[in-house]
Amino acid sequence: MPEQDHSGNEKPMVVFAGRSNVGKSSVMRALTGRRLKVGKRPGTTRWEKSIDLGAVLFVDTPGFGHMAGQGRKAIERAKTALVQKLESWSGRLVLAVLVIDISLFRELVERWENKGEIPIDMEFYTFLSEISQHVIVVANKIDKLPSGNRAEEIDYLHDKIPQKGLAPVIVPLSAKQGTNIVELRNEIERVLQAEGLQIPTW
């Protein structure tokens, strides 16, 4: 996909990031109607893919964390490469979208905290906040939670996000069912408008 506007300048970017198999590609497909490769095996997206929406590029990045058929060293190399790539884009980033699997979030956080470590999703939220002025957290796969537990799990996510200044923007969503896609579009449009950018034609 082209990454420059008609004047040759590099386009601003909206980047989607998150652990492997949280549904980043599915969220982008639900948002834009454009087909991206979506797979059930963790690590299906092995390199970034972009969708040109006129004034801005939407970029799907490789997942960090577990990847099917890959050892620990390969996974660490992939994570380091992703961090370096995102840092190299920091001057173009208008928005970072961190996608998490809300149905597994509490379990994963407790597993990391029991080891005395910072949960990787929260570590990445902090990193994204350092390289992008705007960050939206998409709590994907909300459909996998019982309806009575959803508000509680979103509150748990909110409490775990490192608080810096303004309250984090969280959009509970099901890319599979299309739940709250309009709400996510509205949040993205709000950021783009604040940055003086043209709203995409969804």
The full DSSP string for 127-167 is HHHHH-S-EEEEEE-GGGS-GGGHHHHHHHHHHHSPPBSBP
Farthest-apart Cα atoms in the chain, separation: 52
Q: Give dist(CA 149, CA 154) in Å, integer.
A: 9
Q: Give dist(CA 97, CA 113) in Å, integer.
A: 24
Cα atoms in the Cβ-side hemisphere of radius 13 Å centred on 57: 20
Q: Give dist(CA 151, CA 146) in Å, integer.
A: 10
CATH fold group of domain 13-194: Rossmann fold (3.40.50)
**What pLDDT score was predicted for residue 156?**
97
Do residues 13 and 92 lie in contact, with contact meaning Cβ atoms separated by under 8 Å?
yes
Q: What is the pLDDT along the chain (202 residues), one digit of tens a residue?
A: 335 443 345 899 999 999 988 999 999 999 998 876 544 444 444 568 889 998 899 999 988 765 444 556 766 777 788 899 999 999 999 999 999 999 999 999 999 999 999 888 999 999 999 999 999 999 999 999 999 999 999 999 999 998 776 778 999 999 999 999 999 999 999 999 999 999 888 8
| Cα dihedral value 198, 169, 153, 103, nearest 10 | 40
C-alpha angle 161/166/169, rounded to 5°? Answer: 60
**What pLDDT score was predicted for residue 66?**
53
Q: Give dist(CA 199, CA 178) in Å, integer.
A: 20
Pairing of strands 49-52, 57-60: antiparallel
Provide the residue ranges of all domains of the chain, joining segments of one domain with +: 13-194
What amino acid occupies position 200? P
DSSP string of 3-41? Answer: -B-TTSPBPPEEEEE-BTTS-HHHHHHHHH-------SS
Q: At what angle do helices 181-194 and 24-32 cross, to 10 degrees?
A: 80
